[in-house]
């Protein structure tokens, strides 16, 4: 691996001049050409670590996700990567899974890599670590939900509003017996439940607690919850799942039960864009704009990396979800 010294030996220029060339400073055209030619011959590439060491910036950011199996979270990666790379910033990916003893926890792992900042969908496990590095001045951007007590820029959606859209759509089609598959294990899902309750009240639809399920956000839990709903004396006519995993579970249970969607059960999902269009019937759902989330999160981070804004007050970007119409909702107005 060639270094500045090799280029110096080839060109006779000083290290300072070569450095200046690679940092966009003014260098005589002839010297610039000489450096380029030597670099080409030696297939030279400036060592990013050495640069970083002195400049104390790595031009890399960590992206921390609860795990790497949620296609919703994974789909945000694409947008972040693109945006960051346009600015020559690299992206270290880290899942926040529990791990064997003695291994660095995710945030520490990233911090030891000297990332310039962390974009995170924060878990409870990661929060103390984030609080810690944030206090030491590392820029943090949270997505999806905020991290308790962490100084950070935030990108969120209006979850109450998003959930209300689903209820509104169902109510407009005559549904009054609406099951909710949700969870109280995440602030976002609690907000969505609030939105559901508020919109039901606004439409004069009584809230029936047996129609409301709170479980872990897994496919298995969603499947079991749906199965329980199907056993109710007075079966709901529609189900709204406030999370993609729960939605997949509910669809699985419905498929197994042989009930026809939407004739015997209407369905509205949340964040299942890939699925939405390829099932028959197509699925109605509330969808976050992952492209916008990614873009806003990356931009907030890139902004923080500018020395001038490093200290400016935190920002919070609130995005709106969209409603995708689909064939999975029956019109049951008589």
Partner DNA sequence: CTGAAAGCGCTTACAG
Binding site for a second copy (CB under 8 A): 1, 43, 45-50, 52-53, 58, 60, 67-69, 71, 74-75, 77-78, 81-82, 85-86, 88, 90-95, 97, 99-100, 103-104, 108-114, 132, 136, 248, 251-252, 254-255, 261, 274-275, 277-282
Q: Which does 109 bind (CB under 5 to 8 A by kind): a second copy, DNA, none?
A: a second copy
Q: Is 59 in the site for DNA (CB under 7 A)?
A: no
Selected from 36, 37, 51, 277, the binder of DNA by CB under 7 A is 51
DSSP state at residue 92: E
Q: Which does 58 bind (CB under 5 to 8 A by kind): DNA, a second copy, none?
A: a second copy
**Euclidean distance between CA atoms 114 and 278, whole angstroms:** 43
Q: Which does 24 bind (CB under 5 to 8 A by kind): a second copy, DNA, none?
A: none
Q: Is 69 in the site for DNA (CB under 7 A)?
A: no
Q: Which does 132 bind (CB under 5 to 8 A by kind): a second copy, DNA, none?
A: a second copy
Element (H, E) at 131: helix 127-135
Residues 6 or more apart whose Cβ sits within 8 Å of residue 229: 179, 181, 211, 213, 235, 236, 239
Long-range contacts of residues 226-233, Cβ cutoff 8 Å, at least 24 apart? 226/181, 226/250, 226/252, 226/253, 226/254, 227/253, 227/257, 229/179, 229/181, 230/257, 230/259
Selected from 24, 40, 54, 233, the binder of DNA by CB under 7 A is 54
Q: Which does 312 bind (CB under 5 to 8 A by kind): a second copy, DNA, none?
A: none
Closer of 51 and 208 to a second copy (Cβ): 51
- Phi first, then psi: give them for residue 237, nearest 5 degrees: -95, -10
**Euclidean distance between CA atoms 171 and 143, whole angstroms:** 30
Measuring CA to CA, which residue among 147, 124, 161 is closest to residue 270?
161
Count of residues touching DNA (by CB under 7 A) = 30
Q: Is 5 in the site for DNA (CB under 7 A)?
A: yes
Q: Is 4 in the site for DNA (CB under 7 A)?
A: yes
Helices 4-11 and 29-42 cross at an angle (nearest 10°) of 120
**Euclidean distance between CA atoms 257 and 255, whole angstroms:** 6
Site for DNA in 28-47 (CB under 7 A): 28, 31, 44-47
Q: Is 13 in the site for DNA (CB under 7 A)?
A: yes
Closer of 15 and 50 to a second copy (Cβ): 50
Q: Which does 33 bind (CB under 5 to 8 A by kind): DNA, a second copy, none?
A: none
**Euclidean distance between CA atoms 147 and 186, whole angstroms:** 11
**Euclidean distance between CA atoms 29 and 31, whole angstroms:** 5
Q: Which does 252 bind (CB under 5 to 8 A by kind): DNA, a second copy, none?
A: a second copy
Measuring CA to CA, which residue among 220, 217, 210 is closest to residue 190?
217
* Interface ranges with DNA (CB under 7 A): 1, 3-5, 12-20, 22-23, 25-28, 31, 44-47, 50-51, 53-56
């Amino acid at each position: 691996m060639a270094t500045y010294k090799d280029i110096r030996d080839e060109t006779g220029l000083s290290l300072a001049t070569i450095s200046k060339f690679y940092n966009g400073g003014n260098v005589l055209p002839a010297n610039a050409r000489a450096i380029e030619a030597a670099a080409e011959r030696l297939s030279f590439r400036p060592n990013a670590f050495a640069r970083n060491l002195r400049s104390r910036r790595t031009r890399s950011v960590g992206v921390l996700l609860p795990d790497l199996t949620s296609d919703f979270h994974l789909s945000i990666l694409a947008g972040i990567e693109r945006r960051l790379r346009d600015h020559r910033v690299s992206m270290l990916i880290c899942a926040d899974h529990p791990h064997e003893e003695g291994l660095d926890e995710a945030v520490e792992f990233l911090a030891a890599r000297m990332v310039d900042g962390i974009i995170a969908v924060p878990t409870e496990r990661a929060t103390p670590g984030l609080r810690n590095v944030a206090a030491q001045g590392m820029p943090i951007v949270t997505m999806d939900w905020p991290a308790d007590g962490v100084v950070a820029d935030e990108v969120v959606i209006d979850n109450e509003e998003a959930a209300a859209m689903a209820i509104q759509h169902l109510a407009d089609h005559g549904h009054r017996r609406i099951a909710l598959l949700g969870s109280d294990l995440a602030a976002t899902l609690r907000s969505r439940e609030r939105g559901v309750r508020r919109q039901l009240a606004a439409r004069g639809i009584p809230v029936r607690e047996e129609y409301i399920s709170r479980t872990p956000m897994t496919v298995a839990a969603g499947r079991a919850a749906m199965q329980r709903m199907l056993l109710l004396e007075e079966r709901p006519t529609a189900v709204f799942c406030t999370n993609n995993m729960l939605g997949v579970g509910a669809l699985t249970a419905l498929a197994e039960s042989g009930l026809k969607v939407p004739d015997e059960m209407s369905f509205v999902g949340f964040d299942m864009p890939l699925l939405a269009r390829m099932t028959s019937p197509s699925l109605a759902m509330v969808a976050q704009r992952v492209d916008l989330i990614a873009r806003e999160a990356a931009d907030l981070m890139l902004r923080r990396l500018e020395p001038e804004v490093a200290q400016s007050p935190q920002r919070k970007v609130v995005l709106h979800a969209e409603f995708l119409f689909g064939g999975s909702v029956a019109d049951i107005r008589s």
